[in-house]
């Protein structure tokens, strides 16, 4: 298959560097235009973006591939004019800073093409990860209007799409991964429809039974579409569906597991006793939909779940579980990964319990919990004569909230191999965060539970088995990776290119990493693996593969274990964990 061209650099692989980071002056000595390089070096950088552009320009000019030369454009005076800054963030566990760029050609974005540059606090270079390419053989002026392209999607999906649904449509260049041909395309984000399913699909239904496992989500379909701006052909489609604080009040209540828990809420008024499930320290708020049908697009209630005193007792186990578990996920991302909330900008984490959807399941039951519209929604199932909320499952909650983290970092395209990575990283943090709080000994993985969604299949089995995916008929090696047929679009019938099915391969690699031993002791602490996975995921580009994930994790390890005498052995162990499942 034809893919974008890959460029990777890490200071640990550079014989010219010799230290943990490469200073700009080292490039100046090599440059054919030394005056320009010296002028741009060192303290003269006025921003992280300027430093990142300088390093990218210097490195890519040394690469003769047309894909890299197209980004540099040596005939223009700007540094890497083919790249536009998308965002910047601090990688706090490493003490470094990341600048993410997207590629453009003739000021039009290139779908999936990106570059990620890691810098020290002194703006010296640590690493570069990029997927770039040269756009060729395509007219950059569209023949098909945005409205006509939206109409083509409507005909393709047999859906009446109002004109306003296409207002976010924009032009992009798209490379067909099978033929390698370039297209100018209209990109429509989050259209309320999905690709049609082929009745002849020999694997019909597999996505539902072996994928998410909780059935279809009770939300309207939402897919991103790319439509050829000349021919009107549907090129690709994939799912779009992851101030001064008031004084907190210490609350108690019984959760869905019948355990009495302690958590934070907020007093309704100073000196009163009434409280709300509104944790001002963690920005966690929990609301009760009271079995309102989500198909009606209900608004968030006016107020979080309240109680007349700080003891919720057994009056709302679903809300207590959701509030407690959302706070646990926030705490883990904050304390272990040093991330400020799901979006790393302190967004409020809103949970809504007692959700129903008559179009999916007869109320009041709803076998689903999901991240949608920047919120967590919880259904419930009948257990032992009473409704039990899925908010009891910390692993499912951490999984779903991690989709939100992915959405605001690497934004992995939710289809085929990048979609499988999207699901795998969500599983990884579902398992780690759940055991962090519930395992007999969080530091000893021998005491962990490796089931994801225990008991949630109709036959009582878990949704996935992190330790042994084959127990549930899932693959644990690349030889069993399931691919779409050429020309087959990702859709709900094939689980968006078997994302849940194939995710188990990467899951198994990480299980190897968590359990790998040397001289009777585990090679990596739980914190080590969490940081490697999190920071590895954040530096991936949207169309990343399993092999790209391995390369990203290794790059993180080179910095993270930089002063560790066992650094090389640990990097070799990471490679071995992935090689055991056929990823190299």
Domain locations in the chain as residue ranges: 5-132, 146-239, 243-407
Q: Tell me, what's the pLDDT at 247?
A: 66
Q: Which of 583, 474, 564 is nearest to 523 (CA)?
A: 564
Architecture of domain 243-407: Roll (3.10)
Active site residue 527: no
d(CA 488, CA 490): 7
- Name the DSSP letter for residue 361: S
Q: Tell me, what's the pLDDT at 36?
A: 44
Q: How many C-beta neighbours within 10 Å does residue 167 have?
A: 9
With a cut of 70, say whether residue 324 has pLDDT above it. yes
Q: Which of 411, 112, 365 is nearest to 240 (CA)?
A: 411
Q: Range with the lowest mean pLDDT among 212-221, 392-401, 453-462? A: 212-221
Residues 178, 1 contacting (CB under 8 angstroms): yes
Q: Range with the lowest mean pLDDT among 261-270, 325-334, 457-466? A: 261-270
Residues 194, 485 contacting (CB under 8 angstroms): no
Q: How confident is the model at residue 245 (pLDDT cuts 50, 70, 90)?
A: very low
Q: Is 549 helix (H, G, I), strand (E, B) or coil?
A: helix
Q: Range with the lowest mean pLDDT among 71-80, 81-90, 411-420, 575-584? A: 71-80
Q: Catalytic: which of 134, 194, 256, 400?
A: 400
Residues 328, 334 contacting (CB under 8 angstroms): no
Strands 170-175 and 83-91: unpaired
Q: Catalytic: which of 500, 506, 511, 512?
A: 500
- Does the pTM surpass 0.85? The reply is no
> What average pLDDT does the segment 397-416 reach?
94
Q: How many C-beta neighbours within 10 Å does residue 138 have?
A: 17
> What average pLDDT does the segment 329-356 reach?
93
| Tokens describing residue 522 | 């585990």
Q: How confident is the model at residue 28 (pLDDT cuts 50, 70, 90)?
A: low
> What average pLDDT does the segment 568-574 reach?
96
Q: Is the dihedral of CA 363, 368, 371, 373 positive or negative?
A: negative
| Tokens describing residue 260 | 């009495």
Tokens 């690469």 -> residue:
63
Q: Tell me, what's the pLDDT at 257?
A: 93
Q: Tell me, what's the pLDDT at 201?
A: 45
Class of domain 146-239 (CATH, top level): alpha beta
With a cut of 60, say whether residue 41 has pLDDT above it. no
Residue 91: phi and psi, rounded to 5, are -100, 80
Buried (b) or exposed (e) across 247-277, using 16+ Cβ within 10 A? Answer: ebbebebbbbeeeebebbbbbbeeeeeebbb
Query: How would DSSP label each residue in 439-483?
Result: SSSTT-GGG---EESTT-STTS--SEESS-GGGGT---SGGG---
Residues 393, 379 contacting (CB under 8 angstroms): no
Q: Tell me, what's the pLDDT at 413?
A: 96
With a cut of 60, say whether residue 39 has pLDDT above it. no
d(CA 205, CA 297): 28
Active site residue 500: yes
Q: How confident is the model at residue 482 (pLDDT cuts 50, 70, 90)?
A: very high
Q: How confident is the model at residue 35 (pLDDT cuts 50, 70, 90)?
A: very low
Expressed in percent and rounded to 5, the helix, strand and coil fractions of the chain are 35, 25, 45
| Tokens describing residue 13 | 């692989």
> What average pLDDT does the segment 295-320 reach?
92
Helix H or strand E segment including 502: helix 495-515
Q: What is the pLDDT of residues 111-156, one digit of tens each?
A: 999 999 999 999 999 999 999 999 999 999 999 999 999 999 999 9
With a cut of 50, say whether residue 34 has pLDDT above it. no
Q: Tell me, what's the pLDDT at 40?
A: 43
Q: Which of 405, 437, 441 is nearest to 537 (CA)?
A: 405
d(CA 409, CA 413): 12
């Amino acid at each position: 298959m034809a893919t974008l061209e890959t460029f990777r650099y890490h200071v640990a692989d550079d014989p010219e560097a010799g230290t943990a980071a490469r200073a700009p002056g080292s490039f100046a000595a090599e440059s054919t235009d030394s005056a320009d390089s010296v002028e741009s070096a060192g303290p003269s950088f006025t921003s992280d973006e300027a430093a990142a552009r300088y390093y990218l320009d210097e490195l890519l000019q040394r690469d003769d591939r047309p894909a890299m030369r197209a980004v540099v454009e040596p005939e223009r005076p700007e540094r890497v004019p083919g790249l536009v800054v998308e965002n910047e963030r601090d990688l706090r566990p490493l003490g470094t800073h990341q600048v993410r760029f997207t590629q453009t050609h003739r000021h039009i974005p290139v779908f999936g093409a990106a570059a990620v540059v890691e810098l020290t606090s002194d703006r010296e270079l640590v690493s570069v990860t990029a997927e770039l390419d040269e756009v060729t053989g395509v007219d950059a002026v569209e023949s098909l209007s945005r409205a006509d392209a939206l109409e083509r999607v409507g005909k393709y999906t047999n859906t009446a799409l109002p004109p306003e649904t296409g207002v976010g449509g924009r032009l992009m260049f798209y490379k067909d991964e099978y033929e390698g041909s370039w297209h100018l395309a209209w990109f429509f984000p989050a259209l309320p429809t999905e690709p049609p399913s082929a009745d002849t699909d020999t694997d019909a239904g597999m996505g539902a039974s072996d994928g998410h496992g909780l059935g279809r989500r009770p939300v309207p379909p939402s897919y991103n579409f790319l439509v050829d701006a000349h021919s009107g052909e549907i090129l690709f489609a994939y799912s779009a569906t992851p101030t001064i604080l008031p004084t907190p009040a210490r609350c108690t209540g019984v959760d869905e597991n019948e355990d009495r828990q302690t958590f934070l809420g907020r007093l309704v008024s100073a000196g009163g006793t009434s409280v709300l499930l509104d944790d001002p320290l963690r920005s966690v708020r929990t609301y009760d939909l009271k079995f309102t049908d989500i198909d009606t697009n209900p608004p968030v209630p006016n107020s979080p779940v309240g109680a007349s005193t700080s003891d919720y007792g057994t009056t709302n186990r679903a809300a207590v579980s959701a509030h407690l578990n959302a706070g646990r996920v926030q705490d883990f991302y904050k304390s272990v990964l040093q991330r400020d909330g799901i979006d790393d900008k302190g967004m409020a984490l809103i949970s809504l319990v007692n959700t129903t959807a008559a179009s999916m399941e007869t109320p009041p039951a709803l076998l689903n919990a999901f991240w949608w519209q920047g919120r967590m929604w919880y259904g419930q199932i009948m257990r032992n004569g009473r409704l039990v909320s899925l908010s009891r499952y910390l692993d499912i909650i951490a999984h779903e909230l991690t989709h939100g983290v992915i959405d605001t970092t690497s934004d992995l395209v939710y289809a085929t191999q990048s979609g499988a990575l999207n699901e795998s990283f969500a599983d990884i943090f579902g398992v780690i965060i759940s055991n962090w709080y519930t395992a007999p000994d969080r530091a000893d993985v021998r005491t962990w539970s490796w089931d994801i969604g225990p008991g949630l299949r109709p036959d009582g089995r878990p949704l996935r088995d992190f330790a042994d995916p084959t127990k549930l008929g899932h693959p644990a090696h690349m030889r069993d990776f399931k691919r779409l047929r050429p020309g087959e679009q990702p859709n709900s019938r094939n689980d968006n290119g078997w994302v849940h099915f194939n995710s188990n391969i990467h899951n198994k690699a990480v299980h190897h990493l968590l359990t790998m031993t040397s001289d009777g002791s585990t090679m990596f602490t739980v914190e080590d693996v969490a940081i490697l996975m999190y920071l590895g995921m954040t530096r991936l580009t949207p169309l990343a593969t399993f092999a790209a994930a391995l390369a990203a994790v290794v790059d993180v390890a080179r910095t993270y274990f930089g002063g560790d005498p066992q650094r090389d052995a640990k990097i070799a162990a990471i490679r071995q964990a992935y090689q055991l499942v056929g990823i190299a």
